[in-house]
Structure 1
Amino acid sequence: MQVNFQLFDRSFLLAVRESFIALLPFLLINALLALFPVLATVLAPELSVYDAFHWFEGISDTLGRLFPLLAMLSLSYHFAKYLDISAVASATLSLCIIFSLHVHTSGGLVFSDYLLEVLGDPRMVITPILAAYIMRHFLKFPQLHMVRSAEISAYLSQHLNLIIPMVLTYTLVVLILKAMSLLLVLGISPMVDAVGEFGPMGQLVFRVLLTHMLWCFGVHGDNAFLLLIGDDNGLRYLAPNLTFSEFMDLFVLLGGSGATIPLLIAIFLESRDEQSRHLAKIAVPFSVVNINEILIYGLPIVFNLRLAIPFVLLPCLNVLIAWMAISAGFLSFDGKPFPWVTPLFLNGWIASGGFTVVALQLFLVTVGVFIYRPFIRKYSALADTNQYDRELIKRTELQTDIERMAERQYSRNQSETLAASRNLERTVREVLSGELLVHYQPKLKLPGQEVVGFEALLRLKDADGNIKGPWFIDNFQRAGYSHVIDRFVINTVAEDLRRWQAAGFSPKVSINLDPNNLNDVLMLDRLRTTLGEFAHQVEVEILERAFMRDLQGINRAIAQLQALGFRFLLDDFGTGFSSLSLLTQITVDGIKLDRSILGKTDTDQGRVLYRQICQLCKSLGFQLVAEGVETPSEASFVADAGVDYVQGWLYAKALPQARAMEYALNHGKITPNDLDTI
């Protein structure tokens, strides 16, 4: 058992199991639709004259024909999920392959017949599995990728890169399936001919043995058998008024392939494994209508030697016992039809009109329970004591939980991405419907409170003429539009500096750039070319997080621009990381103390902290700017603490370019010495 599980990839087991479990609601609905005409015929035969009665018969048959297609799509989705490939690509590729296998070189085949031929192909089960694994293999080779550029969206790039792997996978899988079909037919044909010499019972045993062995490998046994044999002998009569298929439904399957109703009873009687018992409880209503995929893939029986032995041998034993009973003349049948979903015992009563068949069914169930019991007892004991099984269950449960969380996270991320996209779209529309502006908040030198410069701050004038703050900055940064904002600020500041220069006014101006752009060669070139002539008047404010991402790279960029005359300030110190060790590793000229730490100076601890920060920064050679000064008491405190420059609403809010110059000229003249020292 341990060897079997280690031979097969866990993702294969989970994908197969979940693919068929996902179809259980469909199977149950179809079973109920098929059961309704049967019950109506027995309990109220007069209903057979109504169209609704025949509708139920027809819809059940139609839905039943769709099952192989639905199984293929489900397998495509689940294997794509576990192998981390595109589910849409896997499903469409499987459809193309299975339809290509049925292309006819001669005309005359109408589409309805062609479609039925495709829907009846049992290779639908193996096609998506082969396609998924082979396509994943080809996707590992970057040489097969058509697009390697980062300039297009990741989604478009992903699907363009699927083209060559899909073409190669399509070709290879078609060739493999055709070769496999030919080899299997050639290999099975002599065996079928040999079995045919043993008569009806030999054919039954051969079919039951082969189909159940295929089930143990996760392959739909009956469909695969039809592919190998070529035709279904289920409509042939095995006994008077009893076809091969009816014999299987009455005496062999007993709840589905493997006679799983005895298996359910054995689990309830013998299993000490709570997981198996819980699974059996869930499987009961399905097994009543002969749907047993929950047990086959849930326990599992697939790739499970402990349960595969009775799963294969019990149906063979049922064939022998029922055949002997029929040959001895103990049973008779009246030829009333019943679908495969008819519950056990009810189908026996319908087929015979009495209880002799029901009695044999009860005997076979009893024998089956005794056969399954020691295997379930051993399986349960090993599940309790075998360390490998315990670890296997733990890993499987952990993987399942992680996958569920990943799916939830993926859905959540998709929803958040969609919401962010819509929000960004609204933001862009609002920004474009308004007017972007740059306003300037005065920066004053202590102790004389002379205006020596400004901080350039982005503003938005909406369609109604209202001036708003840059509420859209975060959305633009997340969407990767920060370059647009930075270019606008740089260009606008350059224009305003020229206007001021023409008026004989030469203040210093500090600008805020997205920290992600400071290492961008194009952004550095723009600073040089656009503001280079005003370099000695321009300060660039940098957030702490820029240094945390790439300290050496940012320091190199700063050094290049400082050589041209640009100055740099560490912005919002006191928020974010606020790492004191960072102060010894950066090459900025000054530090701006955030309003958040000034707001805490109403306590003794806050005042001590502010003074100590000022003393530390001054001792390291940094000039200090206090942001957010709003009251005279705060202004007096920061001056006493050693701050060099202040800005805040106490002095002025951000002003348009012309009013900013007017404000500065009314509060003192800017001298060359101020330009050199700020």
Structure 2
Amino acid sequence: MTSHDSEPDAGSTRPFPLFPASRDGGRGHVVVRAIKTGLVMMLPIVLLGSFSLMLRSLPLPVWQHFLEAFAGGLLPRLLLALQYATFGLLSVYLTLLVSFSYAQSDKHPEALLPQAPITSLVCFFLLIGFGDERFSLDSLGINGMFTAIFAAVVSSLCMRFFQRRKRLPVFYSEGSDIAFNNAVRAVLPSFLTIGLFALGNEGLVLAFDVSGFQDLFIRLAEACFGHLRPSLFSALLYAFMTNLLWFFGVHGTNVLEGAFQSIFAHPGLAPDAAVFNKSFFDVFVALGGSGSTLALLLAVLAFSRHRGSRRLMAVALGPMLFNINELVIFGLPVAFNGYLLIPFLAAPLLCTLTTYFAMSVGLVPPAGDAVAWTTPVLLGGYAATGSVAGSLLQAFNLLVGVAVYRPFVRLLDREKDRQAARGMRALVKLLAERQERGLPPDLMRAEGPPGVLARMLAADLGHALNRGELELHHQAQFDSAGSCVGSEALLRWPHPVFGFVAPPLVVQLAEESKRLGELERWVFTEAGRHAAALRERGLPAKTCVNLTPSTLYDAAFLDHLRSKIAEGALRPEDLLIEITEQTSLLFTGESSALLKSYRALGFRLVIDDFSMGHTSLKYLQDNEFDMVKLDGALVRDLTNPRSREIIVSIVSLAEALRFAVLAEYVETEDVRRRLENIGVTLYQGYLYSPALPFERFATFVEARAGARPEDGPASGRRL
């Protein structure tokens, strides 16, 4: 099932410069990765909070009456409790998760875990002014997200710095366990980190008369607006700042509420007073929430190639219709995602301009009525203006937003492709390293990103098997006269995100997920179906099919083949069972009996990667195998006299014991000619064709047969 040919690497492009790639080929700077990982890890909490908020805030009188009447108002209390337990403490969760993610990325995570997250949480409480009379519980929720990220990152960096200072005393307790010693070792770094935060925050309190870092941050954000009055400029500035704060994980609308009230809630006699109000921004600018993210959702559903992103957007569609977009902000994520910064800011600004123009020239009535922020798109436009023109303006703004997001969704797709390729290369490398060292691969149990990727791929493989998404390609085999004499069936899995997954990895994941038998039964059935189709078209039907040891020695698989033969679904004379020489080392008396059973059914047996192994020679001597495929290393090293002599010996042995010899990796005419000169007359490789999908393979063989002059029987040995 595995392949000897390789897929070319996809061309790479430079990553978006906002977050440059790290030297180790990772996704970016370790701090940015920790922030994004922390945001993604909050997805279950955000999902629960989003749906709780949506169900509690649906602007439908019938629904609200049902909530109040059912079980004495139990549902509203339950939904409110869930909302407070999720969104109400979101900054607390983010502090812990970002610090944890950063600690995990360290070369020695045990030195930072679990002390770093706890230390970060203490620092966060200091920065939000916990205990001060001006402290607000809102700082524990979305309003405190920026402070949470700042506290988590800076405190983790400080902890790491102090942990690595060799001059600091380190206390160990003899006879204590590792966890206790790690905790004791973290005492002084934690004290120093918390002390720095306490002193720094107290300095801000004394210098600026604020409750802490969080309070100062809000005041600075509001200070950007000074004494502005309602105007197009102030509206654009408000839209820009609100969404910029959201991009960095801060609830911009709440943080800038004071600025909004001072500018737009008391417009006086300003000429734009009839245009700019709360409904202007909530209904026509924040389509789906901050960043006009409903437009992003539609752009992803329409243009993204990544099934995972589309699935997330499908889940987020329900809350997004009611302008609840936290699931997208923190789940995709949008926050701290450099690829989406420009459209996240540009889409609301353009919507502000189009709405201002439409209302100023009288195309759409001004948004005069207060509309609940959870009112769905199109309905909100009508409710705010009392005109269908309001709904049409919302639809137009949505199209503008989709157009803005579209190229950046494609750009994000390409970055995800690069990330996927890096992850896949790391997983394949891990598999190869463990196999070379003679260790069990155990990919699904591997720690860190490789293990996560392996488990995800194993689940996807199960879905692919169930949905018929796997493919069987064929690589042609030719004789010395240029006639196609058969093919090798090669498993291909075109993953929607990772492209074609390396066949050895597919087999390993199938084995670890207990689906290898199912996979190989599918391969044999599909190969039999292809062979029958080739025979009907008058083409060579002989097909080599790889089999792993666990399936080869499985009596149940042999029974499966018997039943397929009885049904007429398989013709054993069309299929050659191919096993590696390493597999033959595992042969016992019992396995020898099984081989005879395969031969008794009419199957022929092939040894792959043959290089004169003792056990393989024994079975060749017993006439168990009908063909050997030369070890690729011998063919590639054909100019080496020792490799050439080994091949000559194999050919001599083949003539004496009457089995065929086929050379793989035949990529040039010079190699083919050298092989023919020493007696090898069957070939497979890029000189003729790579592995092709079945229809392309059949067309290729038909074209070769039509182009070749009728020059009599082939001089090479037939399969």
In the superposition, the TM-score normalised over structure 2's length comes to: 0.46
Q: Which has the higher contact order (CA 8 A, sep 6+)?
A: 2
From the CA coordinates, give the structure whose radius of gyration is larger.
Answer: 1
